[in-house]
Structure 1
Amino acid sequence: MKKYNLAYDYYFLTNNFDKGISYKGENIESISIYMIFKLIDKRTGEEFHFLDEDLSEQQIEYADRKFCYVRDYYSCSIDEKEGYKMRAHEMLLAESNYSVSYEVGDCIKWLDNQTAVIIECDELVDIIKNNFSEFNISDNKPAQGTSYYAVEVKKETELKIG
C-alpha cells in the first residue's frame, strides 16, 4: 500500500488581482507556495502517513474525537524581510497527538493568462520582497489555502514530489 504526506498551498493575491504586477517582463496575478507536512505520533514516535483511501478526506483525529486538517497546524503570511513566514498554531500543536514539521514543496507564479509556472522558492521570495506593497493586503495575512497534493513517500527518509 502506498503512503503519502500532504502538501498544502498558501496562495498570495496581489493588491489588484485584475491587473497583477509586472515582474521581470511578466505579468503575475498571484503566487503560491506549497508546504509538505510531516506528522510524528507523539505516543509511538512513528511517522503518520495517509493511505490511498485517505486522500479524498484529509482530516486527522488530532486528539480524542477532535479533528482538523493538517494545514490547520500552521498559517503562512507575507513578511517584508523574509518574503513569507510560517506561524504555528501553538494551542493546536500542544493539544495534538502529533508533532508537525514542514518543508517547502512547489512554488508557483500565476501569469495573467492563468498559466501556472513552477518556480524556485528564491524567486517567490524575490517577487514578494520587490513588490511587497502589492502583496501587503489582508487576504495574505494569513494567506488563503486553495488546494493540496499528495506526496508519495518512497522511503522513510525520502520524499518524492509529484
Structure 2
Amino acid sequence: MTVHIEENNVGLNKKYRLGHDFLFLANKIFSYKNDSIISMSIQVLFKIIDTNGHEKFFDSEQPKDITVKLKNGKPSCLTNIIGCSFDRENILNFEPKINFAKECSYTLLWEIVGYTKDIYKGYADPIYISEQEFMDIMKKNIDQFDNIDNFPAQSCTHFTCEVK
C-alpha cells in the first residue's frame, strides 16, 4: 500500500480513504414489505491516524495493496484488525480482533457511510436504504441474523472514497 501522511501530501493529486463492507447473512430468505431479503450490509469508511495525529491516505482510487503494516512490519487488512458482528441488543458490534495497543502504531476510526438490504433475485441485489430502515429490518427479523455466519460478519468488498 502506498499511503501518505497528511503533512507530506505536497504533490499528491488525490487522497483516498479505504472502506469495507460487512455482510450479515440471514438464516433463510424472509419477506419484509414485499421484498425477499437474503442479507443486509453496511459500508464502513476508515480513517488511519498515525502516532503524531496525522491521517494516512491511499494514493489511488483502486489501490493494489489494501493492507496496513503492524508494528512487527507484517501487513494486515483492516478487517483483520477490526471486526463487526451482529449483536442482539445493539444490532452492530465493532471489536478489535488483535491487541490493538500492542500490535498497531496507529489509531483506526470508522464511520458507517451506507446501508443495504440485499433483495433475492436468484442473486443478492443490493438496494441502498436509510439507517432507520436498516435497523427496522434487523430488529424485526432479529432471529434471522443471530447465526454463526455473523460472528463476525463477512467482508466481501472494499472501496475508496476521495478526500477533498
The TM-score range, normalised by the shorter chain, is: 0.7 to 0.9
> What is the SS of the residue equivalent to 1:63?
coil
Give % identity: 31
Task: Tell me the SS of whatever aligns to 1:49.
Answer: strand
Query: Which of the residues 21, 34, 40 maps onto 1:31?
Result: 40
Q: 1:147 aligns with which of 143, 146, 157?
A: 157
SS of equivalent residue, structure 1 residue 106: strand
Following superposition of structure 1 onto structure 2, how do residues 4-153 of structure 1 map, counting pairs within 5 Å? 4-16=16-28, 20-42=29-51, 44-52=52-60, 55-113=63-121, 114-153=124-163
Are residues 126 and 13 of structure 1, via their aligned partners in 2, closer, same or farther at CA, if it must alter by over 3 Å?
same
| Per-residue CA distance 1:109-129 (angstroms, 9 max, x = gap) | 110113220011222122111
Aligned CA RMSD, in angstroms, stands at 1.6
Gaps in structure 2 of 5+ consecutive residues = 1-12
TM-score w.r.t. the length of structure 1 is: 0.86
Alignment partners' CA distance in 1, 2:160 and 2:24? 21
Further displaced range: 108-117 or 87-96: 87-96
Please, what TM-score do these two structures have when normalized by structure 2? Answer: 0.85
C-alpha displacement at 1:88, in angstroms? Answer: 2.1
